[in-house]
């Protein structure tokens, strides 16, 4: 039991910092990854370097329209659900984070739709690797789907659309917000954490988001904590 708690505490220590979009980033779909690993976490002598890569253009007007049509079906389904469903869907936070510090006015509707459609175009084909994130910039809006845990997971259109509806439900239509998903299984060394949202790219807040701390391989976790437990046992003797 103590061993599992120790493992969980180390898993929870990952993903505690946010990444920052480079100043020269242009409209389009981007990935951000931290390829390195700091054995004892980031510190003065071991810092993780973000690698930002432009991986695609923004979708065409026809692709945006198709995305909005698919989203409309999700909206109808979501509207028919009970408030309990909206608040208590397993593993999702009970309430989205609404970024009122970015202003109370709507985000530009077309830019928001385009940025979210850019993410949706890649869904079902890409995996979000541990330590990596996807984000799309469309003028004054940035939409993102980030991996804040230690597991890889498939880029999910269903998760993305659900997140949009939760943010709309909690924060208002076209208001900036984020919703998080968390599922941890300490015994199986699973740590799945997702952060999905959209914000104003024309404010300083919209340039730095998503936890992206150091990621430790589960096998390394097992070995490290076995050694730590062994040293502790010997010290007690």
Q: Read off the pLDDT of residues 122-173 as tens digits, 9 standing for 90 and up.
A: 776 677 877 788 899 999 999 998 887 777 777 788 889 989 999 999 999 9
219 — pLDDT class (breaks 50, 70, 90) = very low
Q: Of 199, 99, 64, 55, which is closest to residue 139 (Cα–Cα)?
A: 199
Task: Kindly calculate the radius of gyration of the chain based on its CA atoms and give it in whole angstroms.
Answer: 19
Question: How many structural domains is the chain composed of?
Answer: 1
Q: What is the pLDDT of residues 123-137, one digit of tens each?
A: 766 778 777 888 999
Global pTM reads 0.74
**Residue 184's domain spans which residues?**
2-236
């Amino acid at each position: 039991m103590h061993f599992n708690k120790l493992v969980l505490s180390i898993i929870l220590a990952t993903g505690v910092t946010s990444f920052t979009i480079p100043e020269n980033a242009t409209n389009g779909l981007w990935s951000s990854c931290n390829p390195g690993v700091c054995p004892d976490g980031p510190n003065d002598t071991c810092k993780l370097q973000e690698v930002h890569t432009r991986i695609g253009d923004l979708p065409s007007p026809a692709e945006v329209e198709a995305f909005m049509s698919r989203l409309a079906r999700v909206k109808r389904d979501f509207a028919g659900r009970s408030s309990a469903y909206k608040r208590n869907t397993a593993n999702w936070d009970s309430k989205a984070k609404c970024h009122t510090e970015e202003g109370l006015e709507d985000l530009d509707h077309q830019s928001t739709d385009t940025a979210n459609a850019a993410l949706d175009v890649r869904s079902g084909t890409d995996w979000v690797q541990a330590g990596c994130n996807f984000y799309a910039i469309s003028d004054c809006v940035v939409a993102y789907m980030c991996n804040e845990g230690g597991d890889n997971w498939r880029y999910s259109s269903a998760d993305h659309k659900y997140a949009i509806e939760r943010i709309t439900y909690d924060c208002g239509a076209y208001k900036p917000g984020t919703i998080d998903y968390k599922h941890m299984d300490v015994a199986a060394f699973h740590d799945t954490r997702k952060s999905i949202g959209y914000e104003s790219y024309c404010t300083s807040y919209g340039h730095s988001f998503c936890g992206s701390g150091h990621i430790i391989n589960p096998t390394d976790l097992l070995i490290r904590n076995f050694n730590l437990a062994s040293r502790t046992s010997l010290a007690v003797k």
